[in-house]
Amino acid sequence: MTKQYCGYVAIVGRPNVGKSTLLNHLLGQKISITSRKPQTTRHNMLGIKTESDTQLIFVDTPGIHSNQPKAINHYMNRAAESAIRDVDVVIFVVDRNVWSEADEKVAEEIFNAKAPVIIAINKLDRLDSKEELLPHIEMLSKQFPSAQLIPVSALQGQQLDELESAIKQHIPEDMHYFPEEQITDKNQRFLTAELVREKITRQLGAEVPYEVAVEIESFKYEGNICHIDALILVEREGQKKIIIGDKGSRLKNIGQQARLDMERLLDCKVMLKLWVKVRRGWSDDDRALRSLGYED
Protein backbone atom coordinates (compact mmCIF):
# COMPACT_ATOMS: atom_id res chain seq x y z
CA MET A 1 0.00 0.00 0.00
CA THR A 2 1.26 3.51 -0.90
CA LYS A 3 2.38 5.63 2.02
CA GLN A 4 0.06 8.48 2.95
CA TYR A 5 0.88 11.76 4.67
CA CYS A 6 -1.58 13.90 6.59
CA GLY A 7 -1.24 16.80 9.02
CA TYR A 8 -2.69 20.00 10.42
CA VAL A 9 -1.31 23.44 9.51
CA ALA A 10 -2.38 26.52 11.52
CA ILE A 11 -2.38 29.87 9.71
CA VAL A 12 -1.84 32.44 12.46
CA GLY A 13 -1.16 36.17 12.74
CA ARG A 14 -2.52 39.46 14.00
CA PRO A 15 -5.71 40.79 12.38
CA ASN A 16 -5.62 41.85 8.75
CA VAL A 17 -2.32 40.35 7.55
CA GLY A 18 -3.95 38.22 4.83
CA LYS A 19 -4.48 34.82 6.53
CA SER A 20 -7.81 34.07 4.81
CA THR A 21 -6.53 35.22 1.41
CA LEU A 22 -3.55 32.89 1.87
CA LEU A 23 -5.82 29.94 2.70
CA ASN A 24 -8.08 30.56 -0.32
CA HIS A 25 -5.11 30.75 -2.69
CA LEU A 26 -3.41 27.66 -1.25
CA LEU A 27 -6.67 25.74 -1.79
CA GLY A 28 -7.35 27.28 -5.19
CA GLN A 29 -10.91 27.94 -4.04
CA LYS A 30 -12.62 30.52 -1.85
CA ILE A 31 -13.90 29.13 1.45
CA SER A 32 -12.82 31.85 3.87
CA ILE A 33 -14.24 35.36 3.65
CA THR A 34 -11.88 38.29 3.22
CA SER A 35 -11.87 42.05 3.60
CA ARG A 36 -9.37 44.76 4.46
CA LYS A 37 -11.00 45.18 7.87
CA PRO A 38 -9.60 43.46 10.99
CA GLN A 39 -11.65 40.72 12.68
CA THR A 40 -13.22 39.50 9.43
CA THR A 41 -12.50 35.86 10.38
CA ARG A 42 -14.23 34.83 13.62
CA HIS A 43 -14.06 31.03 13.63
CA ASN A 44 -11.36 28.45 13.08
CA MET A 45 -12.10 27.13 9.60
CA LEU A 46 -10.56 24.03 8.07
CA GLY A 47 -9.45 24.07 4.47
CA ILE A 48 -8.52 20.63 3.16
CA LYS A 49 -6.15 20.08 0.25
CA THR A 50 -5.54 16.53 -0.95
CA GLU A 51 -2.98 15.91 -3.69
CA SER A 52 -1.87 12.32 -4.42
CA ASP A 53 -0.41 10.90 -1.18
CA THR A 54 -0.56 14.11 0.93
CA GLN A 55 -3.50 15.73 2.71
CA LEU A 56 -2.90 19.17 4.22
CA ILE A 57 -5.54 20.35 6.71
CA PHE A 58 -5.21 24.11 7.04
CA VAL A 59 -6.73 25.87 10.05
CA ASP A 60 -7.56 29.51 9.25
CA THR A 61 -7.68 31.23 12.64
CA PRO A 62 -9.14 34.57 13.79
CA GLY A 63 -6.51 37.26 14.25
CA ILE A 64 -5.07 37.29 17.78
CA HIS A 65 -5.59 40.72 19.31
CA SER A 66 -5.28 42.27 22.76
CA ASN A 67 -7.16 45.01 24.64
CA GLN A 68 -10.56 43.93 23.30
CA PRO A 69 -12.88 43.29 26.25
CA LYS A 70 -15.97 41.75 24.63
CA ALA A 71 -16.94 38.09 24.85
CA ILE A 72 -16.66 37.67 21.06
CA ASN A 73 -13.02 38.89 21.16
CA HIS A 74 -12.20 36.43 23.96
CA TYR A 75 -13.84 33.66 21.90
CA MET A 76 -11.70 34.54 18.83
CA ASN A 77 -8.48 34.59 20.85
CA ARG A 78 -9.29 31.19 22.42
CA ALA A 79 -10.07 29.76 18.97
CA ALA A 80 -6.72 30.90 17.55
CA GLU A 81 -4.69 29.85 20.60
CA SER A 82 -6.26 26.36 20.72
CA ALA A 83 -5.36 25.80 17.05
CA ILE A 84 -1.68 26.50 17.70
CA ARG A 85 -1.47 23.76 20.36
CA ASP A 86 -2.68 20.90 18.17
CA VAL A 87 -0.99 21.22 14.78
CA ASP A 88 2.04 19.79 12.98
CA VAL A 89 3.29 23.15 11.66
CA VAL A 90 2.40 26.83 12.16
CA ILE A 91 2.40 29.42 9.37
CA PHE A 92 2.99 32.78 11.08
CA VAL A 93 1.77 35.44 8.62
CA VAL A 94 3.29 38.92 8.93
CA ASP A 95 2.78 42.01 6.78
CA ARG A 96 5.73 43.05 4.56
CA ASN A 97 8.17 45.19 6.55
CA VAL A 98 5.67 45.96 9.35
CA TRP A 99 6.21 44.72 12.91
CA SER A 100 4.00 45.77 15.83
CA GLU A 101 3.13 44.94 19.43
CA ALA A 102 0.29 42.82 18.07
CA ASP A 103 2.79 40.74 16.06
CA GLU A 104 4.89 40.41 19.22
CA LYS A 105 1.89 39.00 21.12
CA VAL A 106 1.20 36.43 18.39
CA ALA A 107 4.89 35.46 18.33
CA GLU A 108 4.80 34.81 22.09
CA GLU A 109 1.84 32.43 21.66
CA ILE A 110 3.42 30.63 18.70
CA PHE A 111 6.91 30.11 20.05
CA ASN A 112 5.55 28.81 23.37
CA ALA A 113 3.94 25.98 21.40
CA LYS A 114 5.91 22.95 20.24
CA ALA A 115 5.16 23.00 16.50
CA PRO A 116 7.76 24.12 13.93
CA VAL A 117 7.12 27.62 12.55
CA ILE A 118 7.31 29.01 9.01
CA ILE A 119 7.09 32.82 8.84
CA ALA A 120 5.25 33.89 5.67
CA ILE A 121 6.12 37.52 4.96
CA ASN A 122 3.01 38.51 3.03
CA LYS A 123 2.00 41.30 0.61
CA LEU A 124 5.22 41.15 -1.37
CA ASP A 125 3.28 42.65 -4.29
CA ARG A 126 2.84 45.93 -2.37
CA LEU A 127 6.58 46.64 -2.13
CA ASP A 128 8.30 48.86 -4.70
CA SER A 129 11.45 46.77 -4.36
CA LYS A 130 12.23 43.44 -2.70
CA GLU A 131 15.33 45.10 -1.20
CA GLU A 132 12.94 46.87 1.20
CA LEU A 133 12.41 43.48 2.86
CA LEU A 134 16.06 42.81 3.69
CA PRO A 135 16.26 44.65 7.07
CA HIS A 136 12.94 43.03 8.09
CA ILE A 137 14.16 39.55 7.13
CA GLU A 138 17.37 40.15 9.08
CA MET A 139 15.41 41.25 12.18
CA LEU A 140 13.05 38.25 12.00
CA SER A 141 15.85 35.72 11.45
CA LYS A 142 17.76 37.08 14.47
CA GLN A 143 14.66 37.13 16.68
CA PHE A 144 13.35 33.72 15.54
CA PRO A 145 16.39 31.67 14.44
CA SER A 146 14.45 28.37 14.49
CA ALA A 147 11.82 29.60 11.99
CA GLN A 148 12.00 29.31 8.21
CA LEU A 149 11.27 32.62 6.41
CA ILE A 150 9.44 32.73 3.07
CA PRO A 151 8.30 36.02 1.45
CA VAL A 152 4.97 35.54 -0.40
CA SER A 153 2.12 37.38 -2.02
CA ALA A 154 -1.06 35.49 -1.11
CA LEU A 155 -3.13 37.72 -3.40
CA GLN A 156 -0.89 37.25 -6.46
CA GLY A 157 0.01 33.63 -5.66
CA GLN A 158 3.75 34.45 -5.56
CA GLN A 159 6.02 31.81 -3.94
CA LEU A 160 3.09 29.75 -2.64
CA ASP A 161 4.63 26.60 -4.19
CA GLU A 162 7.75 27.22 -2.14
CA LEU A 163 5.64 27.72 0.99
CA GLU A 164 3.72 24.50 0.33
CA SER A 165 6.95 22.53 -0.18
CA ALA A 166 8.24 23.84 3.16
CA ILE A 167 4.98 22.83 4.88
CA LYS A 168 5.15 19.28 3.47
CA GLN A 169 8.54 18.71 5.10
CA HIS A 170 6.77 18.74 8.49
CA ILE A 171 3.76 16.57 7.61
CA PRO A 172 3.84 13.12 9.27
CA GLU A 173 3.08 9.79 7.67
CA ASP A 174 -0.58 9.10 8.48
CA MET A 175 -3.83 8.03 6.81
CA HIS A 176 -5.97 10.79 5.29
CA TYR A 177 -8.64 12.04 7.70
CA PHE A 178 -11.05 13.43 5.08
CA PRO A 179 -12.40 12.20 1.72
CA GLU A 180 -10.32 13.39 -1.23
CA GLU A 181 -13.06 15.70 -2.61
CA GLN A 182 -13.84 17.47 0.70
CA ILE A 183 -12.39 20.99 0.96
CA THR A 184 -13.78 22.28 4.29
CA ASP A 185 -15.40 21.11 7.53
CA LYS A 186 -18.09 23.84 7.33
CA ASN A 187 -21.57 23.19 5.90
CA GLN A 188 -23.32 25.22 3.22
CA ARG A 189 -25.45 27.18 5.73
CA PHE A 190 -22.31 28.41 7.50
CA LEU A 191 -20.55 29.35 4.25
CA THR A 192 -23.55 31.28 2.88
CA ALA A 193 -23.95 33.21 6.17
CA GLU A 194 -20.28 34.14 5.99
CA LEU A 195 -20.70 35.43 2.42
CA VAL A 196 -23.41 37.85 3.58
CA ARG A 197 -21.17 39.01 6.44
CA GLU A 198 -18.26 39.52 4.02
CA LYS A 199 -20.31 41.89 1.85
CA ILE A 200 -21.42 43.89 4.92
CA THR A 201 -17.84 44.11 6.22
CA ARG A 202 -16.45 45.18 2.85
CA GLN A 203 -19.09 47.87 2.33
CA LEU A 204 -19.55 49.15 5.87
CA GLY A 205 -16.43 48.36 7.87
CA ALA A 206 -15.92 51.97 8.96
CA GLU A 207 -19.59 52.78 9.62
CA VAL A 208 -20.76 49.59 11.32
CA PRO A 209 -18.24 48.10 13.73
CA TYR A 210 -17.99 44.37 14.21
CA GLU A 211 -21.33 44.15 16.01
CA VAL A 212 -22.87 42.31 13.05
CA ALA A 213 -23.80 38.63 12.83
CA VAL A 214 -25.69 36.66 10.18
CA GLU A 215 -28.06 33.81 10.94
CA ILE A 216 -29.52 31.56 8.20
CA GLU A 217 -33.18 31.05 9.12
CA SER A 218 -34.17 28.94 6.12
CA PHE A 219 -32.10 27.00 3.56
CA LYS A 220 -33.94 24.71 1.16
CA TYR A 221 -33.62 23.41 -2.36
CA GLU A 222 -36.57 23.37 -4.75
CA GLY A 223 -35.41 21.72 -7.95
CA ASN A 224 -32.37 23.63 -9.21
CA ILE A 225 -33.07 26.69 -7.03
CA CYS A 226 -31.81 27.21 -3.47
CA HIS A 227 -34.03 29.46 -1.32
CA ILE A 228 -32.12 31.17 1.50
CA ASP A 229 -33.55 33.47 4.18
CA ALA A 230 -30.85 35.27 6.18
CA LEU A 231 -31.20 37.46 9.26
CA ILE A 232 -28.60 40.20 9.83
CA LEU A 233 -28.24 41.00 13.53
CA VAL A 234 -26.96 44.35 14.77
CA GLU A 235 -26.76 45.89 18.24
CA ARG A 236 -28.27 49.33 17.67
CA GLU A 237 -31.09 50.92 15.68
CA GLY A 238 -28.65 53.29 13.96
CA GLN A 239 -26.66 50.32 12.60
CA LYS A 240 -29.86 48.82 11.20
CA LYS A 241 -30.59 52.04 9.29
CA ILE A 242 -27.05 52.15 7.88
CA ILE A 243 -27.23 48.55 6.61
CA ILE A 244 -30.67 49.06 5.03
CA GLY A 245 -29.58 52.34 3.42
CA ASP A 246 -31.68 54.89 1.58
CA LYS A 247 -34.95 53.18 0.51
CA GLY A 248 -33.29 49.79 1.06
CA SER A 249 -30.58 50.44 -1.54
CA ARG A 250 -27.62 49.24 0.52
CA LEU A 251 -29.32 46.05 1.71
CA LYS A 252 -30.26 45.31 -1.90
CA ASN A 253 -26.64 45.78 -2.99
CA ILE A 254 -25.34 43.50 -0.20
CA GLY A 255 -27.91 40.86 -1.22
CA GLN A 256 -27.01 41.03 -4.93
CA GLN A 257 -23.28 40.61 -4.27
CA ALA A 258 -23.80 37.80 -1.75
CA ARG A 259 -26.20 35.97 -4.08
CA LEU A 260 -23.66 35.92 -6.94
CA ASP A 261 -21.02 34.36 -4.68
CA MET A 262 -23.57 31.87 -3.30
CA GLU A 263 -24.45 30.77 -6.84
CA ARG A 264 -20.76 30.10 -7.53
CA LEU A 265 -20.42 28.23 -4.24
CA LEU A 266 -23.57 26.10 -4.60
CA ASP A 267 -23.49 25.80 -8.41
CA CYS A 268 -27.19 26.60 -8.74
CA LYS A 269 -29.59 29.56 -8.87
CA VAL A 270 -30.15 31.23 -5.48
CA MET A 271 -33.17 33.19 -4.26
CA LEU A 272 -31.90 35.21 -1.27
CA LYS A 273 -34.00 37.22 1.18
CA LEU A 274 -32.35 39.43 3.81
CA TRP A 275 -33.78 40.99 6.97
CA VAL A 276 -32.09 43.22 9.55
CA LYS A 277 -32.94 42.96 13.25
CA VAL A 278 -31.62 44.67 16.40
CA ARG A 279 -30.45 42.25 19.12
CA ARG A 280 -28.80 44.38 21.77
CA GLY A 281 -25.53 43.20 23.33
CA TRP A 282 -25.23 39.93 21.39
CA SER A 283 -21.43 40.31 20.90
CA ASP A 284 -20.82 40.46 24.66
CA ASP A 285 -23.29 37.74 25.70
CA ASP A 286 -21.91 34.18 25.93
CA ARG A 287 -25.34 32.59 25.57
CA ALA A 288 -26.18 34.66 22.47
CA LEU A 289 -22.79 33.79 20.98
CA ARG A 290 -23.40 30.06 21.49
CA SER A 291 -26.79 30.32 19.80
CA LEU A 292 -25.03 31.94 16.80
CA GLY A 293 -22.52 29.07 16.54
CA TYR A 294 -19.59 30.55 18.47
CA GLU A 295 -18.68 27.32 20.28
CA ASP A 296 -15.36 26.66 22.00
Residue pLDDT, tens place only, 73-112: 554 556 556 667 788 999 999 998 889 988 998 898 888 8
CATH number at residue 243: 3.30.300.20
Q: What is the pLDDT of residue 153?
A: 95
Domain count across the chain: 2
Q: Give the pLDDT score at 206.
A: 62
Beta strands in 83-137 (DSSP E): 89-95, 117-122
Same-domain check for residues 231 and 113: no
pLDDT in the model for residue 85? 78
239 with 149, same domain: the answer is no
pLDDT digits (tens, 9 = 90+) for 15-26: 788 888 899 899
Within 8 A by CB and 6+ apart from 120, the residues are: 22, 91, 92, 93, 94, 150, 151, 152, 154, 163
Residues 106/77, Cβ–Cβ less than 8 Å: no
CA dist 256 and 245 (Å) reads 14
The segments of the chain whose pLDDT lies below 50 read: 37-42, 65, 72, 75, 296
Which residue range forms the structural domain that includes residue 254?
188-291
